[in-house]
Amino acid sequence: MMHSPFLRPAPGVRGVMLTVLLALLPGIAVYAWQFGAGILVNLLLASCTAVAAEAAMLRLRGRAVGLAVGDLSALVTAWLVALSLPPLVPWWLTVLAVLIAIVAAKHLYGGLGQNPFNPAMAAYCAMIVAYPALMSQWPAPGQLDFGAQLDLILGGPRNIDAISSATVLDALRTGLRTPGATVDALRQTSPFGAVGGSGWEWVGAAYLLGGFLLLARRVITWHMPLAFLLTLALVSGVAWLIHPAQFAPPWFHLASGGTLLAAFFIITDPVSGATTPRGKLIFGAGIALVAWLIRSFGAYPEGIAFAVLLMNICVPLIDMKTQPPVFGHRGGESP
């Protein structure tokens, strides 16, 4: 017999995931416009791999395939993986990354809702550790036509010069190793745009737009993005004020790399993130702090992925320690 509540209008997991996919569209469109249609090929590749892997894993685990694939969560993971990777990595790297995300990070931990680590970030970290060279080849905007991009994705010979335009974070890091180099001097050079990396600023703005859609549709709350962006601005701002020659200014951190994609789409992954309001603030702030430390002092140019995984580990503790007070048990002694 069915029990109350008898009204169940909630849109379903599929509805939530669909909104996330929709919110990613502006970012993807700008990405393709700035850096060529290669990213679309990657997205398609990632999507197919994800759906196939999801279906295979569900069958192996003896679960109903239709419903679970239909929840679209695998597609969201696939898109986030593809958007995090450099756009011109060979096809097998994309496939491998998605497989790691779906099979290892998601299903080996028990499937949707059970994974302690953000699948997209787990895959990203695995790739950057395994293929550091391929993972640092980013194109400059408008550099290659679609045919050339397709050729690279399909595993054509990699003319390093054409695609070695490192990300701004990378350029900054290596550039600062040369004696006498300063942030300001470096930012006059090629990969840098007005605020962040040239071209990437626009992509970031489009992600921001998508993020507002998620906020408006109440798929995410403001806690994590705000805590993340504010903390990042704060720590980078303090460091920059103290030593402007060695540290990038806060707006640079906010506008470059995966900052905005992460703020609204990656750290907000509900399954592997904190759930209480205060916990979300701590979680977002923690990621920002660790990411900035890695960006500024670590071995990898982009620290968000590792920061996310690190904070994922802390989630149970954060949630446990930040349980909000329950109705009637708030402050003060009862009479």
Rounded least distance, CB 185 to other proteins, Å: 46
Cα atoms in the 13 Å half-sphere on the side-chain side of 218? 2
CB of 120 to other proteins, least distance (A): 15
Q: 250 vs 273, which CB is nearer to other proteins?
A: 273
CA distance linking residue 99 with residue 82, whole number of Å: 12
Alpha helices in 143-186, H assignment, sequence order: 146-153, 160-163, 168-175, 183-186
Q: Where does 154-303 have alpha helices with state H?
A: 160-163, 168-175, 183-186, 200-216, 223-242, 250-255, 259-261, 277-297
CB 24 within 8 A of CB 43: no
- For other proteins, the binding residues (CB under 8 A) are 1-16, 18, 62-64, 66-68, 70-71, 73, 111-114, 218-219, 221, 270-271, 273, 275-276, 319, 323-330, 334-335
Minimal distance in Å, beta carbon 111 to other proteins?
6
Write down the least CB distance from residue 19 to other proteins, Å: 9
Least distance (Å) between residue 91 CB and other proteins: 30
Helix axes 91-99, 119-130, angle to 10 degrees: 130
**57/169 with CB nearer other proteins:** 57
By C-beta, is 73 or 256 nearer to other proteins? 73
How far is Cα 144 from Cα 167, in angstroms, rounded to an integer?
A: 16
With CA atoms as reference, report the closest residue to 158 among 100, 99, 98, 91: 91
Closest approach, Cβ 66 to other proteins, in A, equals 5
**Bridge partners, residue 192, by sequence:** 197
Nearer to other proteins, 17 or 203 (CB): 17
Cα-to-chain-centroid distance, residue 290: 15
In the bound complex, what is the minimum distance in angstroms from residue 305's beta carbon to other proteins?
Answer: 20
Nearer to other proteins by Cβ, of 107 and 173: the residue is 107
**Residue 192 backbone dihedrals phi, psi, to 5 degrees:** -90, 140
Smallest CA-to-CA distance from 86 within 198, 27, 163 is with 163
Nearer to other proteins, 188 or 334 (CB): 334
Q: Tell me whether residue 9 or residue 157 sits nearer to other proteins (CB atom).
A: 9
